[in-house]
Structure 1
Amino acid sequence: MASPRLSTAGMTLQYAVETSAGTRPTTGYTKIPEVKSMPSFNPSPNTIDSTTLEETEYMTYVQGLKDLGGALEYGANLTEDLIDAWDTLMGAYDTAVEGGKQVWFAVVHPQLADATYFVGTPAPLGLNEASIGSMLETTLYITPNSAPVMAAKPTEGP
């Protein structure tokens, strides 16, 4: 029997600080509220030309690296809850760096066994453009410092 197709409902962006430097936490993750959209973690790999002079019709390639494109963009509603949560994250990040540790982020779907994890650097919040009849929104920027990995989803924090 085929597994059911899933919607994006219930997906979350979470973070945790390493308790042991260099080891991804498996527990104690905190949800970031108000996230409305998430970037792709499935970029196409670049290609490296491997064509020899013997080729007469088609070029050949070797698969290269994947590029997440720099800072990842997460769309969010700008609320006091988000501002407080992001300020807490920024403080946790600063403390982690001072202690020689990193912050791990997890993209979690409630119906999948695995989550996507990466080490990242969050950027301070800013105010996006605004217009009449619109939600007050912002973009959360996180620069990945590691390749994404899929592993069993985390347990939430206290």
Structure 2
Amino acid sequence: MSGIQLSTAGVKLFYAAEATAGTRPTTGYEEITEIKSIPELNPEPDNLETTTLAETEWKTYIPGLKDIGGALSFTANLTEKSMEEWEGVVDAYETAAADNKATWFCIVIPGLTKALYFTGQPSPMGMPSMEVSAVLETSLYITPTGAPAWATKPTDIEV
């Protein structure tokens, strides 16, 4: 059975703070609009060499840890609305963190029944670089605090 090829058109980024500490929310996600690019969350695992002296031609390996590489950079159009939304994301994170609750981020791709989830800490927005005759864009940084995982999409969002 072959699958239908997918496009990046309509992909959305959402966030929600935990209502119960340690439990990923299944509803209540809010969209972060103006997103133009999402970084890769599929890092190659380290290769740990396990070659013994008995090997005569090939080295052997086992997979090691994966490293997303620290803060993830999401590119977004910089508008008054996107600034207010991002301040809301940071505020929601700080409120949740004060109660030992995580903030979850969710990437939803039209055509898939699952979404990618991870917990993370958003950084306040800074001043982006600018150049002549260009769209004003910014990088929104989220430092993952948990490994990305696929699970059923939130039940109350439309994509």
Matches of 2:121 and 2:133, distance apart in 1: 33
Q: CA deviation at 1:155?
A: 3.4
Give the letter aligned to residue 85 of structure 1.
E
Matches of 1:2 and 1:61, distance apart in 2: 32
User: Corresponding residue for 1:136?
Assistant: 136
Q: Say which SS state the counterpart of residue 65 (structure 2) adopts.
A: strand
| TM-score, length of structure 2 as denominator length | 0.95
User: Corresponding residue for 2:34?
Assistant: 34
Q: Say which SS state the counterpart of residue 112 (structure 1) adopts.
A: coil
Q: Say which SS state the counterpart of residue 63 (structure 2) adopts.
A: strand
User: Corresponding residue for 2:44?
Assistant: 44
User: Corresponding residue for 1:119?
Assistant: 119
Q: CA deviation at 1:29?
A: 0.2
Q: Answer whether contact 1:29 1:155 (CA < 8 A) is retained.
A: no
User: Corresponding residue for 2:10?
Assistant: 10
Q: Say which SS state the counterpart of residue 97 (structure 1) adopts.
A: helix
Q: Which runs of 4+ in 1 moved over 6 A?
A: none
| TM-score, length of structure 1 as denominator length | 0.95
Matches of 1:115 and 1:126, distance apart in 2: 29
User: Corresponding residue for 2:66?
Assistant: 66
Q: CA deviation at 1:52?
A: 0.7
Identity of aligned residues (%): 51
Q: CA deviation at 1:123?
A: 0.4
User: Corresponding residue for 1:89?
Assistant: 89
Long gaps (5+) in structure 2 = none
Deviates more, 1:73-82 or 1:54-63: 54-63
